[in-house]
Each structure stands twice: as C-alpha cells, then as structure tokens.
Amino acid sequence: MADFSKPYNPKETEERIYDLWQKSGFFTPENLPNADTREPFSIAMPPPNATGTLHLGHALEYSLQDAIIRFQRMRGKRALWLPGTDHAAIATNTKVEKMLIKKEGKNRHDIGREAFVTIVEDFVAKSRGAMQRQIRQIGASVDWTREAFTMDDQRLLAVRTAFKRMFDAGLIYKGFRVINWDPKGQTAVSDDEVEHKEEKGTLYTFRYAPDFPIPVATTRPETKVGDTAVAVHPNDTRYRQYIDKEFTIEFAGTKLQIKIIADESIDPEFGTGAVGITPAHSLIDADIAQRHDLPMVQIINEYGRMTESAGPLVAGKKTKEAREIIAAWLKERNLLEKEETIDLNISIAERSGGVIEPLPKLQWFVNVNAKFKIQNSKLLHIPSGEETTLKDIMRQAVASGQINIMPDRFEKIYFHWIDNLRDWNISRQLWYGHRIPVWRHKSAKCKAQSAKLENNNLIVSIEPLTHCPQCNDIVEQDPDTLDTWFSSALWTFSTLGWPDENAKDLKLYHPTSFMNPGYEILFFWVARMVLMSGFLLGEIPFKTVYLHGILRDDQGRKFSKSLDNGIDPVDVIEQYGTDALRMALVVGIGPGNDANFDLNKVKAYKHFANKIWNAARFVLTHIEGFDPKQDVSLTEHDACVVEQAHTLAAEVTQDMENYHLYLAAEKLYHYFWHTFADIIIEEAKPRLQSKNAEERISAQKMLYETLVLQLKLLHPFMPFITETVWEQIPKKHEDLLIIQKWPVA
C-alpha cells in the first residue's frame, strides 16, 4: 500500500500496480467479467522495430492506445490490445551491419550469410527484451499472452501463405525491370524507400556528334554512353523530320545506335525539347523505351561503376569520375553547347543514405493493377466474384467510408499516392528477413513444371523444400528476402490466427477497431495493410486510423543522434512518473499534428498527480465513517454538484468516442483542479464540520461520488495514480479500477 502521508511518489507504486494488473489477468480479454457477452474491441499495436530502444514517439503512441483500450475495457467491451515487435528487415540489417563495420571493419559479405544472420538474431533478442520492459513502464495494458513477432513461426506461415496466394492469383511476378538500386546497402528498394534531396547540379546541353541534328540536355553525361534513342514531342516542328531516323555515332570511345522517336510525354518547352533516352538507368526512360521497344544497354553496375559496355574511356570508373571525363570529352570536341547550374533532386535510400542508382534487375513485384476475381468480399462496393485490382481495393476501402482516416486531410494524400502507384518491388538483396518462399531447380528442368510459372524451374511453396516434389531434383531457395512491409502488412490478422480462417481470434477481433500509426508510415504500412487484408480476407484491416504526428524537441527540431537532443522516456518516467508523461503526451496534441516536447509540461502534470493525491487524501480523511453501500440522500446543493460532474462525464465520454482524447484529458484536468479542488472541496469544508449530521453526510457522499467519478474518468489517462488512490478508498466491491464500469452508459 502506498503511504498517504507523503507527496505522491510514482516510483514506489507504478511497478507494483502493473504487477497487480498483470496478475489479475484482465489484459487478456477472456478473463474479463462476463467476457462472452462483451462486444469485441481490438487494437493491434504497431510493432516497434527490433532495432533497439523505444523513444518518446513510442510513448506517445502507447499513451493514446492505452487510453483507448482502457476506456473501452471499462465501457464493457471485450478489449484486446495485442503487442508485438517488427523484425524490420532493412532497418535492422543496416543497423547491425553498421555496428559490425565499426567494431570489426567487416561488412556482411565478409563474414557470410549464416554468421551475419546469427549476429542479427542475437541483437534482436536483446532489443526485444528491453523494449518489452519499456512497454510495461508506460503502463500499456497489452495482452502479453498473445505477443507476436513478425518473424516467429506463426507469422512465417502467414507470410508464405500470403505470398503463395498472391502468386497463384497472378498478383506476384518476377520481372526484369529498372528498379531503385541502393549501391551502399547493396539491395533494391521500393519507390517509397527513396527520399529526395535538393542539390545544385550542372545541366549540360550537348550534341552526341557534330553532325547529329538535335542537341539534348542532361545532368548525368556519364549515362549517355547507354543511350539508345532521342525522344521528341510528335508535334514539334523543329524535329518532326527526323522522327524514326537512326544514327550510328562514335561517342566517348564507344559506338551508339540512336533512334529518334516521338513520345507524348516530352515537354517541347523544356530545354531543347529533346531527351536522350537511357533505358537501363532511368525509370522514366525505361517506360519510354518499353513503349518504343528500344534496346537497353547496362553501363553502370551494382557498385556504381561503369561497365565494359560503357566503353574503354570510362569502363571501371566511378560514375562521378566518368561524368567529368565525358564532360571534358564533349568540351574538347566542341560538342558542349551550354553548361548551367540548376537545382536538382537526387534520390537517396532512406535507410543507408546511399545515392540511388536505377538499374535493370530481376526482382519480385506485387502487381497493383492486375485484375482478379475477389472471393468472400465484405468490402463495400466490391462484391464477391467481381473483378477488381489491389489499387481498387485500397481506394474503395477508404472512399466508401468503411475505413475512417483521422485527420481527414490524409485521405487526400492517400488517394494521391494510390493514383500514382507503380508495382511494388518486394524483393531485397538483404540477409535478415523473410526469405522468399520460392525454390528453383539446381540443375535439370523439372518435367512437371506448372504452366503458370512464367520463369522456368520455380516452385512456390509454403513448406520449405529440399527436393522437387514432382521430379525429386535438388532445389534451392531464392536468396532474396522480402520487403519488411510485406510481413507488417499482414499484422492485423497474422496476429489473430490467420491463415486459419476459422481461428476464434480472427473471427472475434478482425477487422480491428483502431489503428494508431504515425503519418510517416501511411503509405509504407497503412496502405499495404489495406491491400493485404482486402485481398486475403476480403475485408478491411481496421475501422479507424488515427494518425499521430512527430514529436520534436522544445525548440521544434527533430530528435536526432547528430543533435544529441534525444530524450529517453525512461528518464522522464524516473523523474516525473508515467502518468505525468502520458498526460503531457496526450493533452493538447491533436491527430496528425507535430508537437514540441517540453519537460515543463511533464512537470506540470506531475504537479497534477500530486494534486489528485492530496485531494484524495483530504476526501478520505473527511469521510471517515462513511459507508458507500449505505443509501444517503443528498442536499439540493450537493445533488446539483454531482449532476454537474455527470454532465462533464457525458461530455468526456463523447470526446473519447470521437477519439478527441486531447480534449477529454484537458477537460478532466481542468475540472479536477479548478472546480473539484478549488471550489467543490473548499465549499464543502464548513459542511464537513457541521453539527447537522444530514448536511455532513451529504457533503461526504458528494465528495466521495465526485472523486470516484473522476478516478474512473481519469483512469485511461493516468492509470497508475488512479488505481493507487482507488486502493485506499472504501468501495462497494473490492475490484480493481481497471475493470470498473465506466460511469456513462
């Protein structure tokens, strides 16, 4: 029991209270009173990356989710909050490899796949333990018995099953295409993993040869040894006469075959109105090349060096060196017509920081535009048996209102992303992650190959294979791993028993009720969950998406290692208590808004915790002899006070239901301090001393009731102190506060 004679000391009580809750079993919804008659309410916790420790952003996320799950639990829902961890393939692979390079001066290729994966797994095991402790400290009422990991056996089965079903439906294919290659991380990345950074660059306007009729402009002269065409607008009168002509050119020590083509996508107003097409090293050029059936010459390799095909002048050189060599070559021959400095955007791999080099490579893709027949659809406007596409599903799920995104403005951003979406590259040349569940024959061709397989010798399988089930030849697994978001996209249902479609959890808790990610992963994760859930289950993964913003430091700067402005939530909790931190992260921070984190705000809520403590102590010492089971009638004044408190309760409930937690919490704070403590208690003091027993008992009951009411209302936000005070209070039943009935129906 806490010592009521001293100021509130969170350290003394928080761990004990968390244990009390956990031992009660109430985090597991089956253990709640009358569990079977309760309506389900579920949240899948966005699994934190297994890359290390939790930061304030996680604390914000869990404070919101815990407030909601506690509210719903008290409201009588069968409340499930399912925790877990994400293996975060690329992030973890990158982080551990960096550590390895720093410590031993070796990269993953130096030590080999098996050794590297072992090191990563050890690292992840340690991180997960630390993160579980931190989640407890935040007070998160998660069901630990259902804890999941994106790489455990159950999730592995889900990933392979999803892959196979998509492959069988023609939605996953292997294709040779120009993709975003990260030379630093030595892997392909998806479009969403590419960031743009503005930089000054040089725009060179030149001719391939003195007699070449059309000048072109480029910021990357080194790629011009890979050009196979020049594209102009079909209506451009300057160049119309050259369309379809072909030129053989000696260029920078190599021979080019340049065809003049007409393409609508060319802007005649920009530059010279003509574009040199490099099919192998530009995603846009690759599209144009495909339309015109142009040949592709790869002149840059995976390490950012020029290949033999680039010609002897630059072969083996780094792209930057080659750029200067070719620019000089042009200058010498008087082919360079103009050099100007312009702003350009360079593409950066978000994890490694490497400069993206578009390269043609064989990769696995999810086809977002392929039509397929959807089975068992519960999606609005997409009936079962109808042809649809993954894009359609993603769009309709939100457009129909079946999924509600908060704040609204992100719906527009979401639609815009979908409209411009290309096929999703899901293969990575990393070693940590779900290996692609495809096996190929080592030697001879299997006679029993499925006609469906567009590549020879491939078998897609849920069970791991050593031999081909048909011809018994030895097979080996595809060396690539899956994009980490492939497994995360299954999260809402892979955690509930899927692929067993009859799993009890899946039927009860899916679609989940609430999803609370940061807006920065709207595309990476939220959209992909809609895609997967739509295709595999024919339903939405969640009903409400509440996007939270980013926390910055007190000067509005991002938290970062280089600024060394990081704040460990555990330190804040040590100093001010969990409840204070939670309030500081909830009050006044609306959905989708970034917020500056100020320790003064936490301090203010620590004071509030103390205020609750003292007010409760006052009430307790002045209601001695009062029995809550006894029926007492209130004076008119006291009845009025209680009624007003209930008006507040109704308002707060409304706010909670609308997920306006930031308003609910602030109202409760304000009421407790400036109405309950400053006015109600002060006015009650003389009556508590009154000789008139009726008046005295009425005042006691009034104080008791309003305090109890507020403890319940505050519990979702400040669970520790409210539960601690609750322990001290005389009550009708000796149950924990965590399962008390919410005071508003």
Partner RNA sequence: GGGCGAUUAGCUCAGUUGGCUAGAGCGUCGCAUUUACACUGCGAAGGUCGUAGGUUCGAGCCCUACAUCGCCCACCA
663 is a site residue for RNA (CB under 7 A): yes
Residue 654: CB minimum distance to RNA, A: 8
Contacts of 101 (CB under 8 A, 6+ apart): 107
Rounded distance between C-alpha atoms, residue 490 and residue 388, angstroms = 20
Rounded distance between C-alpha atoms, residue 26 and residue 18, angstroms = 11
Residue 265: CB minimum distance to RNA, A: 7
8 Å CB contact between 124 and 50 = yes
Candidates 55, 318, 607, 637; binder of RNA (CB under 7 A) is 607
Instruction: Outline where DSSP puts E strands in 400-449.
Output: 404-406, 424-425, 427-428, 438-441
Residue 381: CB minimum distance to RNA, A: 24
Residue 274: CB minimum distance to RNA, A: 7
Rounded distance between C-alpha atoms, residue 542 and residue 514, angstroms = 6
Residue 202: CB minimum distance to RNA, A: 11
Residue 249 token pair: 């050119």
Span from 148-156, 608-616, 640-648, 690-698 in contact with RNA (CB under 7 A): 608-616
For residues 439 and 613, which CB has a smaller minimum distance to RNA in the complex?
613
222 is a site residue for RNA (CB under 7 A): no
198 is a site residue for RNA (CB under 7 A): yes
Span from 72-80, 308-316, 445-453, 614-622 in contact with RNA (CB under 7 A): 614-622
Which residues 160-179 are close enough to bind RNA by CB under 7 A? 178
Which residues 690-709 are close enough to bind RNA by CB under 7 A? none
593 is a site residue for RNA (CB under 7 A): yes
For residues 437 and 591, which CB has a smaller minimum distance to RNA in the complex?
591
DSSP letter at 6 equals S
Rounded distance between C-alpha atoms, residue 620 and residue 367, angstroms = 65
Candidates 554, 571, 683, 694; binder of RNA (CB under 7 A) is 554
Candidates 273, 433, 437, 569; binder of RNA (CB under 7 A) is 273
736 is a site residue for RNA (CB under 7 A): no
Number of residues forming the site for RNA (CB under 7 A): 82
For residues 433 and 577, which CB has a smaller minimum distance to RNA in the complex?
577
For residues 253 and 590, which CB has a smaller minimum distance to RNA in the complex?
590
Nearest to 612 by CA among 666, 662, 672: 672
Candidates 20, 503, 639, 677; binder of RNA (CB under 7 A) is 677
Rounded distance between C-alpha atoms, residue 205 and residue 215, angstroms = 7
Cite the DSSP H helix spans in 381-476. Answer: 390-399, 409-419
Residue 147 token pair: 């804890």
For residues 681 and 714, which CB has a smaller minimum distance to RNA in the complex?
681
Rounded distance between C-alpha atoms, residue 56 and residue 585, angstroms = 9
499 is a site residue for RNA (CB under 7 A): no
Residue 473: CB minimum distance to RNA, A: 38
Rounded distance between C-alpha atoms, residue 473 and residue 441, angstroms = 7
Span from 189-197, 301-309, 397-405, 692-700 in contact with RNA (CB under 7 A): 189-197
Strand partners, 39: 77
Which residues 572-591 are close enough to bind RNA by CB under 7 A? 588-590
Token pair 């030697």: residue: 443
Rounded distance between C-alpha atoms, residue 156 and residue 614, angstroms = 52
Q: Determine the 3-state secondary structure of 214 from DSSP.
A: coil
Q: Determine the 3-state secondary structure of 211 from DSSP.
A: coil
Where does residue 307 fall: left (phi above 0), alpha (psi -120 to 50 degrees), or beta otherwise?
beta
Residue 316: CB minimum distance to RNA, A: 24
601 is a site residue for RNA (CB under 7 A): yes
Rounded distance between C-alpha atoms, residue 578 and residue 585, angstroms = 11
617 is a site residue for RNA (CB under 7 A): yes
Residue 60: CB minimum distance to RNA, A: 13
Residue 181: CB minimum distance to RNA, A: 10
8 Å CB contact between 628 and 732 = yes
Torsion of CA 481, 482, 484, 485, to 10 degrees: 170
Residue 175 token pair: 């294709």
Residue 417: CB minimum distance to RNA, A: 6
Residue 537: CB minimum distance to RNA, A: 28
Nearest to 668 by CA among 692, 694, 683, 650: 650
Which residues 276-305 are close enough to bind RNA by CB under 7 A? 276, 282-286
For residues 325 and 616, which CB has a smaller minimum distance to RNA in the complex?
616
For residues 416 and 504, which CB has a smaller minimum distance to RNA in the complex?
416
DSSP letter at 310 equals G
539 is a site residue for RNA (CB under 7 A): no
Nearest to 513 by CA among 593, 403, 414, 406: 403
For residues 381 and 603, which CB has a smaller minimum distance to RNA in the complex?
603
632 is a site residue for RNA (CB under 7 A): no
Token pair 């982080």: residue: 95
Rounded distance between C-alpha atoms, residue 357 and residue 180, angstroms = 6
Token pair 């999260």: residue: 491
Rounded distance between C-alpha atoms, residue 104 and residue 477, angstroms = 30
Span from 51-59, 467-475, 549-557, 691-699 in contact with RNA (CB under 7 A): 549-557
For residues 358 and 511, which CB has a smaller minimum distance to RNA in the complex?
358
320 is a site residue for RNA (CB under 7 A): no
Going residue by residue from 403 to 442, which x/- string records binding to RNA, judged by CB under 7 A? ------x--xx--xx--x----------------------
DSSP letter at 389 equals -
For residues 287 and 386, which CB has a smaller minimum distance to RNA in the complex?
287
Residue 416: CB minimum distance to RNA, A: 6
Which residues 237-256 are close enough to bind RNA by CB under 7 A? none
For residues 29 and 358, which CB has a smaller minimum distance to RNA in the complex?
358
- Amino acid in the structure at residue 455: N
